[in-house]
Amino acid sequence: MRITPKTPEVRVPKLVGLMAMDAREAAKSHGLVLNTPDRADFHLTVVDYVVRQYPQPGAEVPRDSMVYIWFDFGEGEGGGGVREPRIPRPPGGGLQRELDEPGDPYVVVSSA
């Protein structure tokens, strides 16, 4: 897109962390157009949060440029994983001294 005096450059706002409806308003107020590759029903999306955007916040782009936002990290990206304990658990107690062989370690001597 050719930059002319009628299409000044604008700074891309930070959209990551915003809800869908807030991201739409922020982009509109900066004169930008949003595109969501992972959401065909973006115009109906309200409470999902933006997790990624391109171009990055602060980049200067021509007015009416396309800004891409995603609501899902995608396969294999992000997420905290499973936070449940794994079985088998490691033995508790840390280092322990070695135990003696079974049996009576002290022999009783009778005085008969």
pLDDT at 41: 84
Does residue 24 lie within any of the structural domains?
yes
Does residue 15 lie within any of the structural domains?
yes
More confident residue, 90 or 72: 72
More confident residue, 48 or 11: 11
Does residue 53 lie within any of the structural domains?
yes
Average pLDDT, the chain: 79
Per-residue pLDDT tens digits for 94-105: 666 666 677 766
CB 53 within 8 Å of CB 24: no
Q: Total domain count for the chain?
A: 1
Average pLDDT over residues 14-22: 93
CATH for 36 = 3.30.10.20
Does residue 105 lie within any of the structural domains?
no
Does residue 59 lie within any of the structural domains?
yes
For 21, the domain range is: 9-70
Nearest alpha carbon to residue 34 among 44, 50, 45, 23: 23
Is pLDDT at 33 greater than 70 in this prediction? yes
